[in-house]
Structure 1
Amino acid sequence: MSESLRHSVLSGLFWSLLQNWGGRLVTFILFTILARLLGPRDFGVFAAAVAVISILEIFVEQGLGDALIQKEHVSLELLNTTFLLNLTLSIVLVSLLVAFAPLVAALMKVPQLTNILRVACISTLINAFGFCQQAMYRRNFAYRWLALRFLIATAISGIVGVAVAYAGGGAWSLVAQVVCASLINVGLLWAKPQWKLSARFDFREGATLLRFSSNILGMRILDFGNTRFIEIFIAATLGPTVLGIYAVGVRIYQISMQLLSSAILDVAHSGFSRLAKDREKFNLAYYKATTISATLAVPCFVLLATVAPELCISLFGQKWANSAQVLTPMALLGAVQVIQFYNGASFNALGMPVVTLAINLVKIAFTAFSLWITLGSDLDHMVVAFAIAQALVTPLNFYLAKRKLGIDLGRLFKNVYPVFLACGVMAGAVIMCRSFLSHHELSIYVKFPALLGVGAGVYLALLILFIKKNYLEVLNVFELRRHSPA
């Protein structure tokens, strides 16, 4: 990797981490406040709306952002064409949702969803104005402004949401937060644009871009089926209150996934794309990135699963205790997923999104089967079956990484298996500590940090003493960041 590209990637990684860590931590704090102010039904109604609107956003964006990043040369005409396509699709699809909102609410058996959908989908129309700008920021490794923009929008929209909740707005407080965040995010993107809109278009080049993005679109549709369709399924079969319990438990998993992996993957797609023509350097970057992510992220997910009961009650209150039954299997799934996320970024960077598409196709088949066999069961059984179905695709994922990317699975296993062993020891230490503390009448606010401290301390000690190679890899990344310009 050239010195300039290395600095760009490290700088991008730093600001992307700031956006994800800073922004998501602020989001999580605001989410915690809202969870204490609102009930499971309010969260369930809003979660059902978000699931529907997420489908719209997939079709509006079309995967064109990633296609712009991957493309070697991007002209002004192509950017204008992409912008026009995104905006046109958003107008058409939002109009259709507004018209058919009562039908969607009836199918999901959530009558109050109609008006929520009609207002919340405005965020999709607003976001369409920012897709191209955001893609160009990412392409140019200009993550600093993306991070600051996200932090500002998150803080202001969060305050708006909390204010509406205090005023008794219920689920509308969450709608207000989302729409406000979209307005601020897009406004700040255009305040410092990476390109300026004009009337020059290139529809032929746009069609070429669509051919690449169509594979990404298909992948995201299947990914929605894998990750978000369960929310629609729960709303229709178990009701919005149960969906609210699920939404809070899975939200902790989702935020953790964003904190620990999304920032790195965001930069990885851009960085891997630049190394695509040098397979040896590409593979070295893959091994290092996967090893570092496993060392940092896997223990976090395992610890999260182990302390889930205490975490949910401490943060959200006793009314959300059942959310722990969602968080535990989903966090364990996260520990498995985080080591394979670079596979998808690698396939896309090398122009092989069809491979990721095939993996997701298999995954959605497993997911559909898991929901079918748990139809009529309670939430706990449904979530466990769902997590197992998602994890079962892991062998196929790495088999294709070996075939298509030339990854040495033996070398990769050698790098990551000590992490999983250390995590097993860490989980055992936490369980033993919980058993010891159960004999003492202690507040949950004492038990939770005690369990967290024991788990983190045990893993860190094992890392320093027995997994020195991984430990040094992590230290090296932070040392490089310290000497790299932001």
Structure 2
Amino acid sequence: MSFDAVVDTDGVARASRHTVLAQLATQTSRLAVNVILARLLTPSDFGVVAAAMVVMVVVWQLTDLGTSAVIIQRDVIDDVLVSSLFYANVLLGAGLCAAMITGAGPLAALLGQPAAAPAIQVLASVGLLGALGNMHHALLRRTMQFGRLAAINIANALVTGLVGISLAVAGAGIWALVAGTVAGVAVSTVAAWAYQPWRPSATFSPRRLRAVARFSIHFFYSSALAVGFAQLDKVIISRLLGGTALGTYTVAQRTVTSPINTVSEAVSTVSFSAFARDQNNVEALRSGASRAAGVVALIVLPSMLGLAVLAEDAVAVVYGPGWEAAIPVIQVLAPLAALQAISRVTASVMLAMGRSDWLYRWALAYCLAGAAVMVASSQWGLVGVSLGLAVVVVVLTPFEMMMALGLIEMRLSTYLRPLLPHAVISAVMATAAWLAAALADHLGTGSALQLLAGVATGGAVHVALMWRARLPAMDDARRVAGRWAVRSSR
């Protein structure tokens, strides 16, 4: 069985288009479930779910041990290696599942949310279910079969949403999100086995595992630390500020990440697979990184700046009363998320070039600095923690990007210069949106009309300015959307 794919511009465009569609379905489903739950639950109840999800996300990361990245990054793989990695994943997943079930009580207490223990025990099954499908997902990514991956992710999103929303409306409370998550992962694993014909053989080679251990372990360390950094703010808030604050922060963070992940995860996922196939072609990597960053900036900069200036009306309309404390958190996290999305492209470059050890060191730096700054800033509440997180990311990210770009002989200024017009246009758009919403407020309209006025005005201004500027990223975005075919030499 062949484990390779030919990478070309049209192939990357198709892969990006499929992945964007999958992310759109996934994030829309998650946002819908979160909105419904936020209207049915209190911030304190939501904090219980958030605490359980922190444990689940960490365990999910541990089940992989960087083995999926090995499958994608290596030039040559065979059935012996893939089968050995599969069995290692399953053994680890089963062990972590058992550990979560038996240790749910202490873990929940450590997070300051004892009521989360039953949810943690149910979510333990995600570790084993995910491990059973890790290799199949990785093989689909390696062979650039993103159409099939999109179908899998959409099935996951639909099942998660249908189960979660149905149970939420039926009054299941926090169990709506828990049951939806488990059902979605189960469907994802079954679908991956159906779409990827590879089956594990009766072979296990410790020698082959040792041969890939260096890259795998460094990638695992970096991924585990990255996940740790992503969950660190929630752990600190849960321990120091309580469950109500954690629930409020989680809703604010998901409001920001749901729209942005549609683009940034799609681009970074496809970029890693494509960059890994082109890792010996520095010129292709430079061009690919620049174009990927342009597509990300085209969408995330206006959406995040717009969300920041319209956060008050958006929270009032979407979540209703009781969630006002999420407004300033969204205003801090939204612009920060845009920066992180752009930096994910350079992280894919670092990984594709085999420097998972660099990624690990940077993840460690983020964790250490983040823990110190966010604990110190927690005395100012949720906004303090959010600002502390922002300071760490803004200070460290440029240096991480410079190191990654150095691998492909590209300066940070060269990488960022094409993004400057996007930033200027987005700033003008955000100003127009804020002025329109303020005018609607002055006229005595409600939050819904103010939000509508801001979105409509900002959207019109952004489209007009982008059409006038004719930025190159528009051509790449059109290619991804499948509406126009633009030659890569243009």
User: Does the pair score TM above 0.5?
Assistant: yes
1:439 counterpart residue number = 442
| Closer, same or farther: CA 469–96 of 1 in aligned 2, 3 Å | closer
What letter is aligned with 2:112? K
Q: CA deviation at 1:118?
A: 0.9
Q: 1:415 aligns with which of 414, 418, 441?
A: 418
RMSD: 2.1
Q: What is the rounded CA distance, in whole Å, between the counterparts of 1:126 and 1:406 in structure 2?
A: 41
Match of 1:181 among 184, 190, 208: 184
The answer to whether structure 1 residue 171 and structure 2 residue 174 are counterparts is yes
Partner of 1:463: 466
Cα distance change on mapping 1:143 and 1:476 into 2, 3 Å? closer
8 Å contact kept, 2:347–2:404:
no
Task: Tell me, yes or no, if structure 1 residue 38 matches structure 2 residue 70.
Answer: no
**What residue number does 2:125 align with?**
122
Amino acid at match of 2:47: G
Q: Which residue of 1 aligns with 2:228?
A: 225
Cα deviation digits, residues 70-123 of structure 1 (max 9, x gap): 111221111111111111111112212222221112222212121111111111
Residue from 81, 84, 106 that aligns with 1:81: 84
**Residues 314, 451 of structure 2: 8 Å contact kept:** yes
2:27 matched to 1:5? Answer: no
Taking the aligned partners of 1:360 and 1:41, their CA distance within structure 2 comes to 30
Question: In 2, distance between residues paired with 1:354 and 1:8?
Answer: 29
| 1:285 corresponding residue in structure 2 | 288
Distance 1:370 1:26, change over 3 A: same
Alpha-carbon distance in 1 for matches of 2:261, 2:482? 23
- The answer on 1:318 being equivalent to 2:321 is yes
Counterpart code for 1:207: R
Distance 1:441 1:165, change over 3 A: same
Cα 1:479/1:47, change in 2 over 3 Å: closer
Q: CA deviation at 1:202?
A: 2.5
Which residue of structure 1 lines up, in the alignment, with residue 456 of structure 2? 453
Partner of 1:103: 106
8 Å CA contact 2:58–2:224 kept in 1: the answer is yes
Match of residue 271, structure 2, among 268, 272, 282: 268
Does 2:80 match 1:67? no
What residue is the counterpart of 2:240 in the other structure? 237
Q: Alpha carbons of 1:414 and 1:161: their partners in 2 closer, same or farther (altered >3 Å)?
A: closer
Distance 1:469 1:116, change over 3 A: closer
Return the match for 1:193 from 190, 193, 196: 196
The alpha-carbon deviation at position 57 of structure 1 amounts to 1.5
CA contact (8 A) 1:51 1:229 kept: no
Does the CA-based 8 Å contact 1:11-1:481 persist in structure 2? no
Deviation at 1:43, TM superposition (A): 1.5
User: Unaligned regions of 5+ residues in structure 2, if any?
Assistant: none
Q: What is the aligned partner in structure 2 of residue 300 from structure 1?
A: 303
Q: How many angstroms does 1:52 deviate by?
A: 1.2
8 Å contact kept, 1:149–1:188 = yes
When the two structures are superposed, what TM-score results if normalisation uses the length of structure 1? 0.94
Amino acid in structure 2 at the alignment position of 1:137: L
Q: Which amino acid aligns with 1:216?
A: F
The alpha carbon displacement at 1:147 in A equals 1.4
Cα distance, 1:476 vs structure 2: 5.4
Identify the residue that residue 249 of structure 2 maps to in structure 1: 246
Aligned-pair distance for 1:481?
6.3
Distance in 1, Cα, partners of 2:394 & 2:117: 35
**d(CA) in 1 for partners of 2:260, 2:469:** 26
Alpha-carbon distance between aligned partners in 2 of 1:395 and 1:409, rounded to the nearest angstrom: 8
Q: Residue 94 of structure 1 is aligned with which of 93, 97, 101?
A: 97
Structure 2: distance between partners of 1:43 and 1:301: 24
**For 1:372 and 1:381, how far apart are their aligned partners in 2?**
9
Secondary structure in 1 matching 2:323? helix
Per the alignment, residue 257 of structure 1 pairs with 260
Corresponding residue for residue 392 of structure 1: 395
Of 335, 340, 351, which residue of structure 1 is paired with 2:338? 335
1:48 Cα deviation (Å)? 0.4
Change (3 A) 1:3 1:143: closer
- Residue 57 (structure 1) aligned with residue 60 (structure 2): yes
How far, CA to CA, are the matches of 2:439 and 2:72 in structure 1?
53
Equivalent-residue separation in structure 1 for 2:299 and 2:111 (angstroms) = 39
CA offset at residue 153 of structure 1? 2.5
Q: Following the alignment from structure 2 to structure 1, what is the Cα–Cα distance between the partners of residues 471 and 484?
A: 20
Q: Measure the CA separation in 2 of the matches of 1:267 and 1:470.
A: 16
Residue 135 of structure 2 corresponds to 132
Q: Distance in 1 between matches of 2:362 and 2:83?
A: 33
Query: CA separation in 2, counterparts of 1:399 and 1:413?
Result: 11
Return the offset for 1:18: 1.1
Distance 2:449 2:332 in 1: 24
Which runs of at least 4 in structure 1 moved beyond 3 Å after TM superposition?
Answer: 466-484
Aligned: 1:27 with 2:30: yes
Share of identical aligned residues, percent?
24
Counterpart amino acid of 2:323? W
What are the superposed Cα offsets for residues 294-345 of structure 1, whole Å, 9 maximum, x if unpaired? 2232222111212111112211212222222221111110121222211110
Aligned 8 A contact 1:133 1:195 in 2: yes
Structure 1 residue runs of 5 or longer lacking an equivalent are none
CA distance in 1, matches of 2:409, 2:219: 22
| SS of 2:212 mapped into structure 1 | helix
Q: 1:348 to 1:4 in 2, by over 3 A?
A: closer
Name the count of aligned residue pairs. Answer: 483
* Partners of 1:234 and 1:243 within 8 A in 2: yes
Deviation at 1:477? 5.2
